[in-house]
Amino acid sequence: MKIKETKECIRRRRRFRDGNLVAVLLAAAAIESRAAAGPVLVFVSNEKSGTVTVIDAETDRVVDTVTVGSRPRGVQASPDRRRVYVAVSDKSSPRNEAIVAIDAATRKIISRYPSGTDPEQFAVSPDGKTIVIANEDASAATVLDLASGRTTTLPVGTEPEGVGFTPNGQFAWVTAETSNNLSIVDIAARKVVGAVAVDQRPRVAAFARDGKKAFVSCEISSTIVVLDPDSRKQLARIEFAQPEKPEGIAFSPDQKQIYVATSHGNSVAIIDTETYKIEARVPVGHRPWGIAITPGGKLYTANGLSNDVSVLDAPQQRVIATIPAGEGPWGVAVAAP
């Protein structure tokens, strides 16, 4: 017996069919988008070799080595992850000191920008237009406009080390390892507008994506100081066990954890960003310093004394590969050409 469909049944069937079609098309578009995005690449600066090791994050194999110049340390990707910038320091020839720009797809050097003297670490603004550089031997920070190449030099704390941008791009925080403070640089005004005291030898300032917390690693005190970026008041103080000395910081993709390279501790500490508790420690190579994570949750540490890179499955909290690098691996950046 043939059953006649009501108009409402027909409308529901069509909505179901059309909804499935949309879902299929969206899934296909997502797959196509991922394929078009190309490989995720990891760039590791090698301080003593004067090179950058390039790793394919899918295979965890070295695919290239780029010679950049003397003493490369800080390494950062542009916001679109198509460029990688490297700070090159050469005290014997200051004219060679620069921020070197590498095209991530071709792995070729495409530009050299003025950096100020002895550039160590730096940060790229969220809009990709500005770089702020810590000039370690000059107690200064250089603000570089990438479009024009013009620079502004600002006085900051003694022996500046790390730089972090607030997510809105309004301020850059520059850590100073000898004066034990942070200088707050107003990017639009091109001036220092404040300073915040922290623990001994601050290294890295890393901001949560929502801008509500900043995590500052302090090497000698073996602590991480958590600050409110708006009030600049301390929210928490995370203590590490000796001989751990916190250095590089990376957030998990969901921002629920931070991963901290512990340097002398030869491990990565995993910390809950709400409770501030150290949940686990994962042993890695010798003297991990720089650290970075892929969108898929693979974590890479630059191990300065074992001359290699440890690869962690971050959710599983385990090392899944060890990759040879150059001599003195220092920093890590993730690109997606």
pLDDT tens digits along 274-320:
999 999 999 999 999 999 999 999 999 999 999 999 999 999 999 99
> Which of 297, 322, 299 has the alpha carbon at shortest distance from 312?
299
Q: Mean pLDDT throughout 101-110?
A: 98
- Exposure string over 32-45, b if 16+ CB within 10 A, otherwise e: eeeeeeeebbbbbb
26 versus 183: the higher-pLDDT residue is 183
Cα distance between residue 247 and residue 186, in whole Å: 25
pLDDT score of 77: 98
Residue 16 has pLDDT above 60, yes or no: no
21: pLDDT strictly greater than 50: no
Q: Is the dihedral of CA 123, 66, 116, 305 positive or negative?
A: positive
pLDDT above 60: residue 323 = yes
The number of beta carbons lying within 10 Å of the beta carbon of residue 218 is 25
> What confidence score (pLDDT) does residue 29 get?
42
Q: Could you count the other beta carbons within 10 Å of the beta carbon of residue 96? A: 14
| 32-83 confidence digits (pLDDT tens) | 344 345 799 999 999 999 999 999 999 999 999 999 999 999 999 999 999 9
The token pair at 120 is 């160590």
In this predicted model, what pLDDT tens digit does every residue of 245-274 receive, in sequence order? 999 999 999 999 999 999 999 999 999 999
- For the record, the structure tokens of 141 come out as 């920070």
- Average pLDDT score over residue span 131-149: 97
Query: Which residues are CB-contacts of 26 (< 8 A; sequence separation ≥ 6)?
Result: none
pLDDT band at 160 (very low <50, low <70, confident <90, very high): very high
User: Distance from first CA to last CA of the chain, Å, rounded?
Assistant: 61
* pLDDT score, position 90: 78
Looking at the DSSP bridge assignments, the partners of residue 261 are: 268
Ramachandran area for residue 314 (φ above 0: left; ψ -120 to 50: alpha; else beta):
alpha
- Other beta carbons within 10 angstroms of residue 160's beta carbon come to 31
Instruction: Return the half-sphere exposure (C-beta side, CA atoms, 13 A cut-off) of residue 169.
Output: 10
Residue 212 near residue 229, CB atoms below 8 Å: yes
CA torsion sign, 310 to 312 to 318 to 322?
negative
**Residue 94 banded pLDDT, cuts 50, 70, 90:** low
Position 173 pLDDT exceeds 80: yes
